[in-house]
Amino acid sequence: MATGIKPVRVDKWRLRIDRQDSMVTDATIFASDRIGLEAEAVGQLVDAASLPPVRRVLATADIHVGFGVPIGAVLGMDGAIMPAAVGYDINCGMRLLHTPFRKGEIDVEAVASSIARDVPLGEGQENLPLTCEQAAWVCAEGVGAVPRLAERVKHRAWEAFDEPEFARDLVRIEEQGSMSGDAGAAPGAAMAKGRGQLGTLGGGNHFIEIQEVQALFDADAASSFGLFEHQIVVMIHSGSRRFGYEVADHYMDVAAREPGMEGRRKMLAYLQAESREGQRYIRAMWAAANFGFVNRHIMALLVRRCFNRMVGPVSLPLVYDVTHNMAKLETHGGRPLWVHRKGATRAFGPEQMAGTPFETTGQPIITPGSMGTASYLMVGTGASAESLCSVNHGAGRVLSRTAALGKIKGGRVISPPAITDDEFKRSISHVTLITPNRQKVKEEAPGAYKDIDEVVRIVTECGWARRVARLTPLAVLKG
């Protein structure tokens, strides 16, 4: 890994690493003086900028250490695709639903407890049982396969399935929830380990939050999304579960064995996009992306079911569903590039969203903070060419999970926790927390993350997006 190279501040919001040593392009980090940068994450960005097919490299303010490529990085590659620059949780992403209720009009804790009974929390959980054939439908069709699943698979989620609502949902999902995936391109382990996991949350930073619309900044956009002050909304953060992990791990190994990759670690190996293995990875990545879209859709149906059972028939319309771990072929500066967003969200403006419900507002951008702190809904302005039409996917970590929890081995404290139990309890005292592991969840404490308000301020000051609403958590479900 590159070491010792430090970015130079260009202005209030931008730092630059000029091309040097083995780098093939400059790298830009969009961060203010209040955003701490890990030397290792900067080194990973330099490594990414040293890959021969790379033409553009940047990082958003939530940059932190990842596997090979930092989380928060955006890479534009010419004719090449890189599994590690997408990451292990392919199509990890966000979904936001709104309700007709204001804070105080429903029992938030009771609804959250009901959701937790229907949506398994934590690693290794299963929910919706699929045959290999049915899982292949999901891989090929994404959310488009949901009506067929509702007819063929017995599950409580379908109690909330409604055809007209489904049609309204589809146009509010990035890519309408369907990419050109192929189950046959995925490794066998993906199907074996992942096909039973639809409708499960996972662990780590994945969550379901019941939130309050604490403030509105753009009344017109908010109204078009059905939002109002003090409204109850539900935010879901999850991805493709074990299916995506196995796809990523398999193709990182495949890339490392390709000609020309000798001596390159799997975390920095890439594939020629038009090669046989490059095409297979793309189809497998998109199959995992479809799996992630359907996973969030099933969880949203289960959330709707819980509200219906708790308060009677009620509509919970979808605001948007957006991915933040994906590679897509896009045109930037007149050049086709495989844009890899690893912990970064696409931020298209109104013109790029023509023909969708968002052609007047711009693409919705769902930006979570951490449990206990605010999240934001923004919209793209169309003025983000310098970031390859990308913004941060969240607040970003300032502490590793090990640092937050501390390390104990054989009953001996190797390193004390950076966040004490009392500090953690105080930081979430205003929310209802539901989790199967209250000790481990401390690794996701608010103190382990950057200041979401500052991270969002950078995005808006750069002119890439406008704030629509600030959302604060009332109940948090985590694995």
- Residue type at 4? G
Q: Which residue has the tokens 């997006």?
A: 465
Query: Taking the chain, what is the end-to-end CA distance rounded to the nearest angstrom?
Result: 32
Q: Closest by alpha carbon to 97, among 223, 220, 210, 255?
A: 210
Q: Which residue has the tokens 């890990």?
A: 38
What is the Cα–Cα distance from 341 to 62, expressed in whole angstroms?
13
> For position 413, what pLDDT does the model report?
67
Phi, psi dihedrals of residue 350, rounded to the nearest 5°: -55, -45
Measured from the Cβ of residue 311, the count of other Cβ atoms closer than 10 Å reads 16
Phi, psi dihedrals of residue 385, rounded to the nearest 5°: -60, -35
* CA angle 28–43–69, rounded 5-degree value: 80
Q: Retrieve residue 475's tokens.
A: 């109940």
Question: CA distances (Å), 34 to each of 30, 233, 322, 357, 457, in order?
Answer: 12, 30, 28, 36, 11
Low-confidence ranges of the chain (pLDDT < 70): 1, 3, 411, 413
What is the Cα–Cα distance from 225 to 40, expressed in whole angstroms?
40
Question: CA distances (Å), 304 to each of 146, 155, 316, 376, in order?
Answer: 15, 14, 6, 22
Report whether 127 contacts 196 (CB < 8 A): yes
Q: Closest by alpha carbon to 70, among 340, 339, 266, 343?
A: 343
* 393 tagged catalytic: yes
Q: Which is catalytic among the residues 64, 340, 393, 430?
A: 393
Q: What 3 state SS string does the chain have?
A: CCCCCCCEECCCCEEEECCCCCCCCCEEEECCCCCCCCHHHHHHHHHHCCCCCEEEEEEEEEEECCCCCCEEEEEEECCEECHHHCCCCCCCEEEEEEEEEECCCCCHHHHHHHHHHHCCCECCCCCECCCHHHHHHHHHHHHHHHHHHHHHCCCHHHHHCCHHHHHHHHCCEHHHHCCCCCHHHCCHHHHHHHCCCECCCECCCCEEEEEEEEEECCHHHHHHCCCCCCEEEEEEEECCHHHHHHHHHHHHHHHHCCCCCCCCCHHHCCEECCCHHHHHHHHHHHHHHHHHHHHHHHHHHHHHHHHHHHHCCCCCCEEEEEECEEEEEEEECCEEEEEEEECEEECCCCHHHCCCCCCCCCCEEEECCCCCCCEEEEEECCCCHHHCCEEECCCCECCCHHHHHCEEECCEEEECCCCCHHHHHHHCCCCEEECCCCCHHHHHCHHHECCHHHHHHHHHHCCCEEEEEEEEEEEEEEC
* CA angle 33–443–126, rounded 5-degree value: 125
Q: Which residues of 200-234 are buried (b: 16+ CB within 10 A; e: fewer)?
A: bbbbbbbbbbbbbbbebebeebbebbbbeeebbbb
Q: Retrieve residue 323's tokens.
A: 């991915």
* CA angle 167–172–177, rounded 5-degree value: 80
Q: Which residue has the tokens 């539900």?
A: 234
> For position 1, what pLDDT does the model report?
66
pLDDT in tens, 240-280: 999 999 999 999 999 999 998 987 788 999 999 999 999 99
